[in-house]
């Protein structure tokens, strides 16, 4: 009688959080670990956002529940921001404010998926998508894109796995973990394919402002307006404004869908903390100068980490053009002795464990993203740490 539900037993823990937790535990023991695991900007939240939160804390009206779907002024500001950044109009009634982008993805799948429904999840994927599909009773269908194709899936690949149970496809550009930005042509092709076959599109745009080398995020809702009736946009302030811990995200969906999400959230968590919502209001209604500065710093690190990874024998890192991740092929390091003890790793998971134990650097193995033979390095860390960490990796690989 003490068994856990099948639902939860079927789910893998978050691998990215697991690496981060292990690295933090080793750090707490006094071991000097350099963490490339967490998808978390190392900058402070911009001052004007913090000030808005401080003011909100002092206002005695802000201790209350807000409407479940979010403060009306925040929903209106998100609609405005969508017009500014994505170039098309949505109504505030289509917005639901959630506890981080993560909850937006989770609730979307709960509202969309019936048992046995299939959701196409292009791999390498953000580690939570397939687990959330399973939690909704659905079946994640992974489609692995190739390095050669810049980690962008083709419509032919999607068509090859489509069945009459295909309910939705996940699009995540700029991508975690690949750091790729899907070109407008591919975005349009996928949208037209989804329109033709009545497939919902879940577009996770949480890294929208972190693009480099002149690349820009292509927004499905602007590229192919006809698909807005089957489009759910997932977004949040975490990555753009260095606000991971504030837990504010949102989704934008057709109105009937947003209402259904709000009903679910009403039984799950009610509203997001009022103070966090007011901080998010300052963030989304302000300009993008703070994120421009962060992007410039990320860009320098991106170029550095790509260069340093490619200098390590046995490592191939395609150029990342978005988000703050380098996703590199380490298959040539497997099956060979490396490091001071001649450790042989047979998988990227074993390699990540060896690097943590022996080189004291934390990276997330490709297994967490449906792509064995890869490691993901987040470059959202201090420049000196980045350099030192890469030197440790190189020394370990050359030993």
Instruction: Name which of 134 and 360 has its Cβ closer to ligand PLP.
Output: 134
Using CB under 6 A, which of 20, 117, 204, 329 touches ligand PLP?
A: 204
According to the binding rule CB under 6 A, does residue 320 interact with ligand PLP? no
Tell the smallest beta-carbon distance from residue 226 to ligand PLP (Å).
Answer: 25
According to the binding rule CB under 6 A, does residue 244 interact with ligand PLP? yes
According to the binding rule CB under 6 A, does residue 273 interact with ligand PLP? no
Please list every residue from 75 through 114 that binds ligand PLP, using CB under 6 A. 100-102
Bond before 177 cis per omega within 30 degrees: yes
According to the binding rule CB under 6 A, does residue 35 interact with ligand PLP? no
x/- binding map, residues 149-178, to ligand PLP, per CB under 6 A?
A: -----------------------x---x--
- DSSP character string of 175-220: -TTT-----HHHHHHHHHHHHHHT-EEEEE-TTTT-B-TT--PPPH
x/- binding map, residues 329-368, to ligand PLP, per CB under 6 A?
A: ----------------------------------------
Instruction: Name which of 105 and 312 has its Cβ closer to ligand PLP.
Output: 105
Q: How many CA atoms lie within 13 A of 75 on its CB side?
A: 23
Would strands 374-378 and 364-365 be described as parallel, antiparallel, or unpaired? antiparallel
Identify the CA nearest to 171 among candidates 117, 212, 116, 227: 227
Identify the CA nearest to 217 among candidates 191, 181, 186, 252: 181
Q: What is the side-by-side order of every strand in the sheet holding 374-378?
A: 325-329, 374-378, 364-365
Q: How many CA atoms lie within 13 A of 104 on its CB side?
A: 30
Instruction: Name which of 249 and 389 has its Cβ closer to ligand PLP.
Output: 249
Instruction: Name which of 171 and 308 has its Cβ closer to ligand PLP.
Output: 171
What residues does 166 pair with on adjacent strands?
Answer: 118
Q: Which residue ranges make up the site for ligand PLP (CB under 6 A)? A: 39, 100-102, 126, 172, 176, 204, 206, 236, 238, 244, 249
């Amino acid at each position: 009688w003490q068994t856990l539900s099948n639902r939860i037993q079927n789910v893998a823990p978050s691998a990215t959080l697991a690496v981060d937790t292990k690295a933090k535990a080793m750090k707490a023991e006094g071991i000097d670990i350099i963490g490339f695991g967490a998808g978390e900007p190392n900058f402070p939240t911009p001052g004007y956002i913090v000030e808005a939160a401080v003011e909100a804390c002092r206002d005695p009206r802000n201790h209350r529940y807000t409407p479940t779907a979010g403060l009306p002024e925040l929903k209106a500001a998100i609609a405005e921001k969508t017009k500014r950044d994505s170039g098309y109009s949505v109504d505030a009634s289509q917005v639901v404010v959630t506890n981080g982008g993560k909850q937006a993805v989770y609730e979307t799948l709960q509202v969309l998926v019936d048992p046995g429904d299939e959701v196409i999840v292009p791999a390498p994927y953000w580690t939570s998508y397939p687990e959330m599909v399973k939690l909704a009773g659905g079946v994640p269908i992974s489609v692995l894109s190739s390095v050669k194709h810049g980690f962008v899936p083709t419509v032919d690949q999607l068509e090859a796995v489509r069945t009459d149970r295909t309910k939705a496809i996940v699009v995540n550009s700029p991508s975690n973990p690949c750091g790729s930005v899907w070109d407008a042509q591919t975005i349009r092709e996928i949208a037209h394919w989804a329109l033709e076959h009545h497939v919902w599109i879940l577009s996770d745009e949480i890294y929208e402002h972190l693009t480099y080398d002149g690349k820009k995020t292509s927004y499905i809702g602007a590229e192919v307006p006809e698909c807005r009736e089957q489009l759910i946009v997932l977004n949040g302030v975490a990555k753009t404004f260095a606000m991971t811990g504030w837990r504010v995200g949102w989704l934008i969906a057709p109105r009937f869908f947003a209402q259904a999400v709000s009903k679910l959230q009403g039984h799950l968590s009610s509203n997001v903390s009022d103070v966090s919502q007011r901080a998010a209001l300052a963030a989304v209604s302000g300009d993008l100068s703070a994120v421009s500065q962060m992007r410039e710093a990320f860009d320098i690190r991106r170029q550095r980490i790509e260069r340093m990874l490619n200098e390590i024998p046995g490592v191939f890192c395609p150029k990342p053009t978005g988000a703050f991740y380098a996703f590199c092929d380490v298959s040539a390091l497997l099956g060979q002795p490396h490091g001071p003890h001649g450790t042989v790793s047979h998988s990227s998971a074993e390699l990540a464990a060896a690097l943590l134990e022996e080189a004291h650097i934390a990276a997330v193995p490709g297994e967490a993203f449906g792509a064995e033979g890869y490691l993901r390095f987040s470059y959202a860390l201090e420049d000196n740490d980045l350099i030192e960490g890469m030197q440790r990796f190189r020394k370990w690989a050359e030993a």
